Amino acid sequence: MKVTYTGAAVLAAGAVAAPSNTVKAPRKAAAACESAVTLDASTNVFQDYTLHANTFYREEVNAAVEAITDAALKEQAAKVADVGSFLWLDTIENIARFDPAVEDLPCENILGLVIYDLPGRDCAAKASNGELKADELDRYKTEYIDPIVEKIKANPNSAFALLIEPDSLPNLVTNIDLATCQESETSYEEGVAYALENLNLPNVVMYIDAGHGGWLGWDDNLDPGAEELAKVFKAAGSPSQVRGIATNIAGWNSWDEEPGEFSEASDAKYNSCQNEKTYVQKFGAALDAAGFPNHAIVDTGRNAVTGLREEWGDWCNVDGAGFGVRPTADTGDELVDAFVWGKPGGESDGTSDESADRYDEFCGKPDAYKPSPEAGQWNQAYFEQLLQNANPQF
C-alpha cells in the first residue's frame, strides 16, 4: 500500500468519537479581556486570536507524557500539550468542562468548542451514538444548548469559536436511506437551527460541520450538500456570526496532496475533490450559490500520513496516522481561515472489541488500529504512534 507523508496531509459515513468525561482543574488563572469581545464574522478571527490549548486536552497529554519511558519521545510528547485544540462538549454532563477552560483562557486566545449532542447523534454509525434519543429535541434545546448559551453570555470578555454538530447534516445528504437517519432528520435540522440562532452572540464565531472531500465532495453530493446547509442556516434566520464550514473534523484527508489519495480508484472520476483544498473551493462555490457563507476551517490534527486507508469511508483509528500541521491562520488560501486541531489526538474513535455494544465494523477493519478502547477513551499506544509519525515532527 502506498504511504505518503504530506505537509498538511474520512469519515464518509464516519463517527466522530466523543472524548472522555473527566473534568480537570485549570493549571493557572488567566486574564480575560478588560472589556466585552465583539467578533466580526465577516473577517477571519484567527488572524487576531490563537486557538487555545485547553486544560482538558493538556491534562490528558500530561498524563500520557508520564507513561512514556523513552526520553526523546517524552520530550516531544510534552510539546503536544501546548497545541491549541477544540474542546468537546459532547454530553449534557460535559458542559461542566466549560468553566475550567474559560478560567484558563487569556485575552489573546480563542476557545474552540465542539457543540455535539444532537438527538439521535451519528445516525449512520454506532461507535459515537449520543445520549439523546431521536425524539428528544426539547431536551437538546433546554438541557444542552440553553445552558451553553448562558455560560457564553456570562463570559462576554472572552472569545469563542464554535464547531457545530459534526456529521449531522452530511448524514442527511448521503445516509437518509437509513431508518436511523430518517428518524433523526427533523431533530437534526431543527436542532442545528436552534443552536445557530441562540448561539449567535457577539463574542462567538461559528462553523457548521460539512464532512470532507470524500463525503460531500463527490460530484453528485456537492449541490445537495450545500443546499442542506443553506436550508438550515436560513431557517435559523441567517445568523450573522456563522462564518462558514468545518471540514475533515476527526478526519484523515490531505490538505493539498496531488493528484490525491484515491485518484487511482475505479470511481475517482466521480469525485474531483481528492484533497481538502479542492473540496473547500468546489463546495465553497456551491455554498455561495446556495446563499451560505463559504469560509472554512480544516482539521489537520491527524492527517500527516496518507495512503493508509483502503477507502474514503474508513474513519476509525486509522493505523499509521500522524499528527499534522499545528493550528495556524497561515493557510495560503483566502477561503480557509485556519488549520485547526478539531479531534484531540490520542482519544479513540471507537472500540475494536467485537463483543462491545458500541462496536462498529469500521473499527475492526484491516486499516484500523487494534486494540482500541471505546470512543473518547485515551489510547496511549495510538497517541505515541501519532507522535512518532508527526509531520512536522515535534
Closest CA to 152 of 228, 218, 241, 67: 241
- Grid cell for residue 200: 449567535
DSSP result, 141-181: IIIIIHHHHHHHHT-TTSEEEEEE-TTHHHHHHH-TTSHHH
Q: Furthest-apart CA pair in the chain: how many Å? A: 57
The DSSP code for 235 is H
**Residue 212, Cα to own-chain centre: how many angstroms?**
11
First to last CA, the chain: 26
β-strands 50-51, 159-164: how paired? unpaired
Phi (first) and psi of residue 72, to 5 degrees: -65, -45
**Number of alpha carbons in the 13 Å side-chain half-sphere of residue 177:** 2
| Catalytic center residues | 122, 167
CA atoms of 131 and 109, how far apart (whole Å):
31
72 and 84 Cβ atoms separated by less than 8 Å? no
**How many C-beta atoms surround the C-beta of residue 180 within 10 A?**
16
CA atoms of 84 and 53, how far apart (whole Å):
4
Q: Which helix (H) or strand (E) holds 278?
A: helix 276-290
Phi (first) and psi of residue 29, to 5 degrees: -75, 145
SS3 187: helix
Residue 120: what residue type? G
Q: Which helix (H) or strand (E) holds 222?
A: helix 219-235
CA atoms of 314 and 320, how far apart (whole Å):
13
